Amino acid sequence: MPGTHTQSDYLLSLLTEKEAAQLLGLSIRTLQAWRYRKEGPPFIKMSGRAIRYQRSDLIAWADHLRVVEAPHAKK
């Protein structure tokens, strides 16, 4: 059925820590530091060490950081 997402589709859409870092152009250490400080994009803790990210969450988070206007330069 078109437009229907199954549980397996959801699990397949989850990115590993490495994949998420690559998508954002960041290091894995940066993502780890943000999680420790409770900053950065939302993540899913599947188990003690298994961290996953939803691609849509990463894109929405990065979009939220977009600067539309450059700040005025001080003279």
Q: Which residues contact 8 (CB under 8 A, 6 or more apart)?
A: none
Confidence band of 68 (pLDDT split at 50, 70, 90)? confident
Residue among 68, 11, 58 nearest 30 (CA): 58
Per-residue b or e along 11-34, where b marks 16 or more CB atoms closer than 10 Å to that residue's CB: eeebbebeebbeebeeeeeebeee
Does residue 55 form part of some domain? yes
Q: What pLDDT was estimated at residue 73? A: 61
Does residue 8 form part of some domain? no
Please state the pTM of the whole predicted model.
Answer: 0.74
Q: What pLDDT was estimated at residue 49? A: 87
Structural domain tally of the chain?
1
pLDDT tens string 10-65: 666 799 999 999 999 999 999 999 999 999 999 999 988 899 999 999 999 999 99
Q: What pLDDT was estimated at residue 1? A: 47
Strand partners, 15: 53
Does residue 34 form part of some domain? yes
